[in-house]
Amino acid sequence: MLLTITTEDPRPIYQQVADGIKELIAGGKLAEGAALPPVRQLAADLGVNLNTVATAYRELQKEGLIRVKHGSGSVVASLRSAERSQEELLRPLRTALTQMVLAGLPESKILTLVISELHLVGKGNK
């Protein structure tokens, strides 16, 4: 699994792990039913504490993106089971857009950035 953790990122490490797995799922690199590495293995591969990876897996499980089968490992859940309300999905987008507006970016630049990121994230889901 190709995940990158960086100390320069202001997000906690567990969040970087969870977000990285989300990106792999969204980009089609981790399909429904795909097995995730065991917590200990991923922690060793990333050079982080196993509790950090366990926390990331718990967050992903809470969001309905993975299923954890104790003794059998974790797998990517059906994306249909992770359905959330439109309002819930729009909340982080609004926050990001607000930050861009407050940073002084013109609307045309914001739209270009959003479309560019959508193409990066959406690879494999077309």
Whether the Cβ atoms of residue 66 and residue 60 lie closer than 8 Å to each other? yes
Do 78 and 19 lie in a common domain? yes
Whole-angstrom distance, CA of residue 13 vs CA of residue 11: 6
Instruction: Please state, in angstroms and as integers, the Cα–Cα distance from residue 29 to each residue in 20, 86, 87, 121, following that order.
Output: 11, 24, 27, 11
- What does the pLDDT read at residue 123? 62
- What does the pLDDT read at residue 126? 47
Give the domain range for residue 109: 86-121
Do 78 and 17 lie in a common domain? yes
- Look at the chain and report how many structural domains it folds into: 2
- What does the pLDDT read at residue 125? 52
Residue 42 belongs to domain with CATH number: 1.10.10.10
Do 19 and 62 lie in a common domain? yes
pLDDT in tens, the chain (126 residues): 789 899 999 999 999 999 999 989 988 889 999 999 999 999 999 999 999 999 999 999 998 899 988 888 999 998 765 556 777 778 889 999 999 999 999 999 999 999 998 888 776 454
Do 39 and 95 lie in a common domain? no
Structure tokens at 119: 């193409």
